[in-house]
Structure 1
Amino acid sequence: MKGRNFSKVQAFPLQMVLIVPFVLQIFGAVGLVGYLSFKNGQKTVQELAERLMDQTNNKVEQHLDAYLSIPHRVNQINAAAIEMGLLDVRDRQTISKYFWHLMQAYDVSYIAIGLITGEGTGAARYDGKTVTIDDWSAKLPNNGKNYATDNQGNRIRVNNTFSYNNFNQSWYTEPIKAGKPIWSRIYSWNKDNDLYITAATGRPIYDAQKRLLGMVGADIHLLKLSQFLRRLEVSRSGQVFIVERNGMLIANSSNQTPFSVLNHQIHRLKATHSPDPVVKEIAKQIQQNLQGFESITEAKKLQLEWQGERNYVYVNPWRDQYGLDWLVVVSVPEKVFMSKIKAHTQITIALCLGALAIAVLIGYFTSVWITLPILRMNLASQAIASGKLDQKINFSHIQELNILTQSFNYMAGKLSEFFTALEASKAELEDRVEQRTADLTTALTELQRTQAQVIQGEKMSSLGQLVAGVAHEINNPVNFIYGNITHLNAYTQDLLRMIHLYQERHPSDDPEVQALATEIDLDFLVEDLQKILSSMNMGTERIRSIVLSLRNFSRIDEAEFKAVDIHEGIESTLLILQHRLKDQPERPAIEVIRDYGNLPLIECYAGQLNQVLMNILVNAIDALDELNIKRTYEEIKANPSRITIRTSVNDTQWMEIAIADNGPGIPEQSKNRIFDPFFTTKPVGKGTGMGMAISYQIITQKHSGKLECFSTVGQGSEFRIQVPIRQKNSVLV
């Protein structure tokens, strides 16, 4: 028998028990340290990446603010000089020389003036060093000449001729149309086989009498933005690029140009078509994750995966006061920071494996040293089990095992003595156990019943206090509203009569009055206002009836016998359960049939009797719902669920309430136990089995009445409550 019992338990060798936890502890500790170190490293990497991206974005914004403000400052200086009369717009030679000197002071690629007459002049720096002068008249074609200059800005020879029309240039036409300084669209051009993409800004100019003279403009090379981005520290490992809201590239930090060249013509590229694969992939993922570049209104920090690696990406809108709306994108790959962390992780893994090997060796030798004395004790125990009680074990070199050995030897000596005494007391012990078991069973049953009654009583008391409190708090504002609706209705009728009288006595064709009447739809307002007041009155009446039902149901102030209207308690309970009786998506409403007799006031505990009604009605609804689950909506409609409530007086001394349903009925074996504590046929979690037991106690013990159940499977169930109309020895309050 003992051998079979031990075989049912999975046992492990003591050596394994000693070694495995020790090894797991070391491995877990080292592994946890390594894991936390790795995670902290990742967190540090993210913080470093975000800090680097913030710093880079600040540098880019500062550079954009400084670089892109230059042409506006130049235009402002030129417009002010012309408006004050310091420059004569008709003296194009002097103006072009003045522009030449401005080119020495400001980092712009072109400064020009275009007049409303079609004439104009400008200074250009095409190769980044030499400044030339353009001058054109209004007469096309070949109306322009490009001049080489000396170191004082004087024209020395004609380089070439060209045709130029102010009125076809966006830097001229767009500010004229806007009437204020703005940026033109980014455009591209080539000069002497050099390719450029340029941003131009224009500013209308006026004379002292505020008459429009034309336009001053200045251009900058956007390729210089790419040169600046390549000099940033983050560009060595990451990417920085600038795009317009339509996704077109403006500048990037890669070695690839932000445009393509076909037949010596520049074609601007979208960021999603960039020849640089990193820029291309990041732009695509930004579009997917943020629903396009146009929707980005604030700075965004993202973590994007590309080719199995994580990239930290920072997208920030940049705007200026003249209409530019760009996005600055900074990307830093995680691998830049993770190389050292991975190396430390590998070292941690190696240390973990080494510690594991050492732990296995130490654990093995320790287990051998511990298990030898235990094995000897095991052999002695087996001998005792076979009936050889004169066993004695020698001591070892482990103090705790010596104590155990001493105890074992003492136990072996005492075991023989106790064995004889045990047989003698066995019979007496069995008798005591049997008697004590019977006593405990009786006490346990009584304790369960008492405990359940106390718990249910506390629950219903708390529920009654809660319902009464809610009803009281709702009642005050509802009475206030209800009391003022009458006055509000009277005031409204007076105002409407006043409006009608005014319309009759003072008809007006004032367009403003007519427009306002049409706008507010005066006729509809007058008609609907009265409907609203009527609706508000009905709503407050409904709320007051609900509050009254809640107060009637709670009966928080009726802890003693009191003569009450039973029908009022039934109606309050039905109102509380209305949410379960009304139409549901899966079934029609449960029909409630009231067959009320002529009852006098009944002496009872009103709150407790309401509790019984609630328990029976809830069980009836649950039974009908259980039946309806198995039927279709049409089947339920053809044979509707029904609860019948009948009240009557029996023998002039008894009040009877019968609550019947047409549900599935209760099987005979369950009906016999329906009032037992903790008995329920509901699934786990839907019933405690105490509702009907408590109801039975309330009716039979508190009210000296009867509670009976009649049921036929397939036809339904009926509960009958009989309570004396007058309680013996009761004192009405």
Structure 2
Amino acid sequence: MNKFHGIKNKAFPLQLVLVIPFVIQTFGAVGLVGYLSFKNGQKAVNQLADRLMDRTSAMVDQYLHSYLSIPHKVNQMNADAIEMGLLNVRDRKTASKYFWKQMHTYDLSYVGFGLTTGEGVGAARYDEKNITIDDWGPKPPKNWYSYVTNNQGDRTSILNILDWNNFNESWYTEPVKAGRPIWSRIFTINYPNHPYIAASAGRPIYDSQKRLLGMVGVDIHLLKLSEFLRHLDVSRTGQVFILERNGKLIANSSTQQPFTIVKDEVQRLKATNSPDPVIKSIAQQLEQKFNGFQSITESIKLQLKSQKEQNFVYVTPWRDQYGLDWLVVVSVPERIFMAQINANTKTTILLCLGALTVATLMGYLTSHLITQPIVRLNRASQAMAAGNLNQVVDVSKIQELNTLAHSFNNMAGQLRELFSALENSKAKLEDRVEERTAELKTTLSELQRTQAQVVQSEKMSSLGQLVAGVAHEINNPVNFIHGNINHLNEYTHDLLRIIYLYQQRHSSYDPEIQALAEEIDLEFLIEDLQKMLSSMKMGTERIRNIVLSLRNFSRMDEAEFKVVDIHEGIESTLLILQHRFKEKPTRPAIEIMRDYSNLPQIECYAGQLNQVFMNILVNAIDALDEMNSHHTSEQIKANFSQITIRTLVIDSQWVEIAIADNAMGMPEQVKNRIFDPFFTTKPVGKGTGMGMAISYQIIVEKHGGKLDCFSTLGEGTEFIIKLPIRQQIVKQPNGLALSSF
């Protein structure tokens, strides 16, 4: 060994060894938690931004379809009236009054017609209060007269006289040339103190002999789109704008107008030249990224930088059947979503630094408290090794070191007694280690159980909130659809009555109508339409029942004992699990047998009790699936899968709920451990072993009831729940997890 005596091993002070790992672990744990929190926050922000952008785009899309469909509907109505002879285009005075009334009915800027003879008439709203009537003859000059009207739509005085020619105007020539309903090009007019930017919808009109008479047209003021965009919630912090494929702005949510006035002329702006810096920057980046706006054919989500900050940008093409092809762009600054996350990041950094400081200080004090007695003991041992047994080590405040010091002090005088004392101390230490080990195992088991319960509680709470929220969100549109189906049914019956009446009086005299009826199979269409409405009504009722079951099952608003109907909770649970009862390729459908008694309403935690039903039913379904996986197709047909649910009242004080399956049952050793925490027979990933343990705690500890399991191998399993009808002691829920998923 002498040859190793000269080798010096690199050693570190004990105080440094104690402090450094403690500090590193603390800093690493706090830093990792902060990093994961930041990443999860970013993920949540992206999801929130996507939902906000989707919702905003959907609102804009819905409004555009609603607002821009009105002109074509009015045109079709007027064209039909002219073709049927209900509106005489030669009687321009009556027609103008008819258009004047339409202006009061619909939110339009102009409605009228122009004839192939050069004549025309219309009603105009160039401000919010006054509606004028325009009437023009076939040829200029001074053939256009604009009249002021009274409250009855009568002409009172001439407002203006102009030269006018239908055949020079795009709103007339384009629909006539197209021969179908279209949108003309957007045009602008600079009225005094009232810029006018409008889109014109036009369609050709014909008489009853299908001869062209001219066209009908309706204008709408596009600046109202900007007013709508400014009232969107997202417009408070972001920007929403609509532009044509050529890049010109149609509307925007900015305080800046999408046009400019140059030499008393209204000139539309391109989005890339918008006075709003955000709109301008985003439009320029989009144009550069996609080499113009024509190549954007589907919805895209981007993150673009504007004004030195990141923005979430959502671009959606919008089209209609009459030729409009626009782009809707929604932009929201990332800082709106990231403000709280950045604040939390700063807090995390400060906490990390604070934790590091505290850990360093505590490590230093702890190491000092440990190393000083060891240093004293080391010096005394070196002296004893040199032959000086008269060493006395001062006592320490640490029990173990203090015991070691006393033992060391006795070693010099009584070496034999010291060895004996060391042996006794060793035995006592082993016993103590065993006791501590047993205590630690018990504590660890309780800690794991509590941790699993807390995790399951948070998961179930989130699931309950999600279920309740989804049920609430689904309920509104479903109720809207369900409520309108009755009106649709009535309208359909009314239309069918008109068709029947029309058939009785005209079908035999008009071969064209008869041929069309045969072509579309009118009788089958009428019969199938009524069946379709009935099917739609049944579908909405089905959805409403499912939503009600989800809301009953979640019970998120019941934090204390409630008086509930047990059967309602069971049925809600069965409805939620209905997809698992259906027939599968590996087994037939599971049959549910109900044997319900007339139960009174009982006091319970409804949501927790529903989860007990869920746990037992899921285990029963899993047992039946496992049984069928080991059977042949002939055995499966001979042994049908069945779950029986039975309820009854016992001694007028208790209710009993029994849930039984006809699966393979379980052996005695499994049945005896079915309620033990973390015990499960399922593969890894399919169960935590907490479902039945928590169910037992809910029934026994939370409700003062009983939960028993009876199983015979090869015959099936039955769980019997006994609950008091009235609770004697008010208990507070502790938020136990209710799910074994």
TM tier relative to shorter chain: 0.5 to 0.7
- Equivalent positions of 1:481-492 (< 5 A) are none
Could you say what secondary structure the match of 2:52 adopts?
Answer: helix
- C-alpha distance in 1, partners of 2:340/2:253? 26
The residue number in structure 2 matching 1:6 is: 8
1:260 equivalent in alignment to 2:264: no
Q: Which amino acid aligns with 1:88?
A: N
Query: 2:291 & 2:409 partners in 1: Cα distance?
Result: 78
| Alignment correspondent of 2:107 | 107
How do 1:500-539 and structure 2 match up within 5 A?
A: none
Residue 211 (structure 1) shift? 0.7
Q: Using a 3 Å threshold, how does the CA distance of structure 1 residues 18 and 173 change in structure 2: closer, same or farther?
A: same
Q: Quick check: 1:188–1:195 contact (8 Å CA) kept in 2?
A: yes
Letter in 2 for 1:90: R
The answer for the alignment partner of 2:611 in structure 1 is none
Give 2:224's aligned residue: 224
2-side partners of 1:381 and 1:167: how far apart?
A: 118
For the residue of structure 2 that corresponds to 1:293, the secondary structure is coil
Which residue is equivalent to 1:280? 280
Cα distance in 2 for partners of 1:86, 1:407 equals 121
Which residue matches 2:178? Answer: 178
| 8 Å contact from structure 2 (residues 302, 312) kept in 1 | yes
Q: Distance in 2 between matches of 1:307 and 1:401?
A: 66
- 1:67 & 1:392 partners in 2: Cα distance? 100
Q: 1:69 aligns to what SS in structure 2? A: helix
Structure 2: distance between partners of 1:292 and 1:393: 91
Stretches of 4+ moved more than 6 A in 1?
1-4, 380-385, 387-393, 402-410
Structure-1 residue corresponding to 2:293: 293
Q: What is residue 47 of structure 1 aligned with on the other side?
A: 47
**In 2 relative to 1, CA 365–134 (structure 1 residues): closer, same or farther, beyond 3 Å?**
same
Structure 1 residues 317 and 384 mapped into 2: Cα distance closer, same or farther (>3 Å)?
farther
1:4 to 1:50, Cα distance in 2 relative to 1, 3 A: farther
Letter in 1 for 2:307: Q
Asked if 1:318 is matched to 2:318, the reply is yes
Instruction: Using the TM superposition, give the Cα deviation of residue 91 of structure 1 relative to its aligned residue in structure 2, in angstroms.
Output: 1.4
What root-mean-square deviation, in Å, do the aligned CA atoms of Structure 1 and Structure 2 show? 2.9
| Distance apart, 1:291 and its partner CA | 3.8
Alpha-carbon distance in structure 2 between the residues aligned to 1:374 and 1:215 = 106
- The CA deviation string for residues 531-589 of structure 1, in whole angstroms up to 9 with x for no partner, is xxxxxxxxxxxxxxxxxxxxxxxxxxxxxxxxxxxxxxxxxxxxxxxxxxxxxxxxxxx
Cα distance change on mapping 1:164 and 1:391 into 2, 3 Å = farther
| Letter in structure 2 aligned against 1:42 | Q
Distance between the aligned counterparts of 1:196 and 1:147, measured in 2? 19
Q: What's the counterpart of residue 195 of structure 1?
A: 195
> Aligned partners of 2:394 and 2:381: how far apart in 1?
15
Counterpart Cα distance in 2 of 1:233 and 1:112: 37
Q: 1:378 deviation in Å? A: 4.9
Residues 383 and 391 of structure 2 are in contact (CA less than 8 Å); yes or no, is this contact kept in structure 1? no
Give, in angstroms, the shift of residue 350 of structure 1.
Answer: 3.4
CA distance in 1, matches of 2:410, 2:320: 95
Does structure 2 conserve the Cα–Cα contact (< 8 Å) formed by 1:304 and 1:313? yes
> What secondary structure sits across from 1:68 in the alignment?
helix
Q: Distance in 1 between matches of 2:258 and 2:320?
A: 22
Q: Provide the rounded CA distance (Å) in 1 between the counterparts of 2:355 and 2:88.
A: 89
Amino acid at match of 1:56: T
Distance in 2 of aligned mates of 1:361 and 1:16: 12
Q: Which amino acid aligns with 1:190?
A: N
Give the equivalent residue in structure 2 for 1:204: 204
Measure how far apart 1:353 and its partner are: 3.1
Partner of 1:357: 357
Output the TM-score relative to the length of structure 2.
Answer: 0.52
Q: Which residue in 1 is equivalent to 2:166? A: 166
Mapped to 2, the partners of 1:37 and 1:290 lie a distance apart of 35
**Aligned 8 A contact 2:239 2:278 in 1:** yes
Q: Equivalents in 2 of 1:310, 1:392: separation in Å?
A: 73
Q: Aligned pair in 2 of structure 1 residues 78, 390: CA closer, same or farther (>3 Å)?
A: same
The separation in 2 between residues aligned to 1:305 and 1:175, in whole angstroms, is 43
Distance 1:107 1:323 in 2: 21
Q: Mark the CA change 1:400 to 1:223 in structure 2 (over 3 Å): closer, same or farther.
A: same
Aligned match of 1:145 = 145
In the TM superposition, residue 329 of structure 1 has moved relative to its aligned partner by: 0.9
1: CA distance, partners of 2:390 / 2:34: 52
Give 1:281's aligned amino acid.
S
Corresponding residue for residue 692 of structure 1: none
**TM-score scaled to structure 1, two decimals?**
0.52
Residues 393-420 of structure 1: CA deviation (Å, up to 9, x unaligned)? 959655666899989999xx99xxxxxx
Task: Encode CA deviations 1:120-143: one digit per residue, 9 max, x unaligned.
Answer: 111100012211011111212222
- 2:588 maps to none
Q: Deviations over 1:652-697 (max 9, x none)?
A: xxxxxxxxxxxxxxxxxxxxxxxxxxxxxxxxxxxxxxxxxxxxxx
Which protein has the larger Cα radius of gyration, Structure 1 or Structure 2?
1
Q: Can you list the C-alpha shifts for 1:151-185, whole angstroms capped at 9, x where unaligned?
A: 11111111111112111111111112211100011
**Secondary structure class of the residue paired with 2:350:** helix
Query: Unmatched 5+ residue regions in structure 2?
Result: 417-741
Structure 2 CA distance for partners of 1:408 and 1:209, relative to 1, 3 Å: farther
1:235-278 residue CA offsets vs partner (Å, 9 max, x unmatched)? 11111100111211100001000111111211111111110001
What SS does the aligned partner of 2:294 have? Answer: helix
1:125 matches 2:125: yes
Residue 193 of structure 1, CA deviation: 4.2
Describe the SS at the equivalent of 2:128.
coil
CA 1:404–1:178 in structure 2 vs 1: closer, same or farther (change >3 Å)?
farther
CA contact (8 A) 2:172 2:202 kept: yes
Deviations 1:64-111 (A, max 9, x none): 011101110111011001100111211111111111111110111001
Q: What's the CA shift for 1:330?
A: 0.9
Pair 1:404–1:185, CA change in 2 (3 A): farther
Partners of 2:304 and 2:391 in 1: CA distance = 73
Is 1:27 matched up with 2:30? no
> Which position in structure 1 is the counterpart of 2:430?
none
- Distance in 2 of aligned mates of 1:6 and 1:396: 33
Aligned-pair CA distance for 1:358: 2.4
Offset at 1:341? 3.0
Answer yes or no: is the 8 Å Cα contact 1:376–1:393 preserved in 2.
Answer: no
Instruction: Please give the secondary structure, in 2, of the residue aligned with 1:153.
Output: coil
Structure-2 separation of matches of 1:217 and 1:281: 37
Aligned equivalents of 2:135, 2:315: Cα separation in 1 = 43
SS in 2 for 1:266: strand
Deviation at 1:331, TM superposition (A): 1.0
Unaligned runs of 5+ in 1: 415-733
Aligned to 1:339: 339
AA aligned opposite 1:313? V
Question: 1:601 maps to what in 2?
Answer: none
The amino acid of 2:195's aligned partner reads L
